[in-house]
């Protein structure tokens, strides 16, 4: 099996190149034109807020489940919006 490396890093005849060992071209040179958005923070905040609001109403678990549903919907919307920006 031939050694595959990035064009700017010639193979050294070993199982890995000397400079930047363990990194593929994709890891070594990320796409600077796009930074993905994160949907995890709204998800966690909605779960916590739902649990706290539910606790005040006497139904902490139900509030957390509703918060999970709302947070998941927000995270999916963020993911879909970010995924649409990749196609530009």
Residue 6 has pLDDT above 60, yes or no: no
Percent of the chain, pLDDT > 90? 42
The pLDDT of residue 82 is 83
Residue 88 has pLDDT above 70, yes or no: no
Identify the residue with better confidence: 4 or 52: 52
The alpha carbon torsion through 24, 26, 29, 31 (nearest 10 deg) reads -170
| Helix H or strand E segment including 70 | helix 60-86
What is the pTM for the complete model shown?
A: 0.59
């Amino acid at each position: 099996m031939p050694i595959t490396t990035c064009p700017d890093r010639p193979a050294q005849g070993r199982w890995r190149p000397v400079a930047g060992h363990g990194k593929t071209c994709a890891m070594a040179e990320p796409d600077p034109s796009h930074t993905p958005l994160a949907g995890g923070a709204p998800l966690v905040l909605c779960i916590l807020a739902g649990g706290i609001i539910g606790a005040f109403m006497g139904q902490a678990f139900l509030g957390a489940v509703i918060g999970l549903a709302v947070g998941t919907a927000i995270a999916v919307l963020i993911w879909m919006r970010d995924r649409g920006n990749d196609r530009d």
